Amino acid sequence: MKRLFFLCLFALVCSQKSFGQDVAFKKDVMTVDGKECLKVDSHDANHVSFMDLAGNELFFLKFVHNSRYGLLYTKITFLSQKLTFTCMSYGFTKKLLVKKLLADGTLRDCALVPAKVESFVLKYDENIEGR
């Protein structure tokens, strides 16, 4: 019985490792599984731009504090698609946003998949500013 338990545990750990991608930020470059993927420009602690390696801005993350809509929420804008969403209940950080984009297939091979961007926005948008 112990052996079966450890075999199942080992299989679970291996499956998590194979599907999860390692995202790391070093200076102004984000790597996925050790490969340089996007440039990151943090204007300040509340504004983060994500660009392809050629410098074309793809999406923008903004932390909005103490607004009339709430104490803290995030606003993410996909520039080429001209789509924006706001979210308060899900605490998007730089790393978490990229991991969600990767997991949903919205960010593939270091580029946004335009068809997936709209579904990503629909999935996470809480329309904070439209209330």
- Residue range of the domain that includes 53: 22-130
Measured CA distances, 21 to 2, 5, 13, 89 (Å): 30, 26, 14, 24
Query: At residue 19, does pLDDT exceed 70?
Result: no
Is 14 domain-assigned? no
- Domain for residue 39, yes or no? yes
**What domain count does the chain have?**
1
Using N-to-C axis directions, what is the helix angle for 114-124 and 94-103, rounded to 10°?
120
Report which of residues 131 and 45 the model is more confident about.
Answer: 45
User: Quick check: 49 pLDDT over 60?
Assistant: yes
127, 88 contact by CB (below 8 A):
no
Q: Is 125 inside a domain boundary?
A: yes
User: Are 58 and 112 a contacting pair, CB within 8 Å?
Assistant: yes
Would 3 be classed as within a structural domain?
no
Q: 44 phi and psi, to 5 degrees?
A: -160, -170
Global confidence as pTM: 0.76
30 or 104: which leads in pLDDT: 104
Q: Determine contact, residues 69/128, Cβ cutoff 8 Å.
A: yes
Give the DSSP H or E segment for 95: helix 94-103
pLDDT digits (tens, 9 = 90+) for 54-107: 999 999 999 988 777 668 889 999 999 999 999 988 778 888 999 999 999 999
Distance CA 37, CA 23 (A): 10
The answer to the question of residue 49 being in a domain is yes
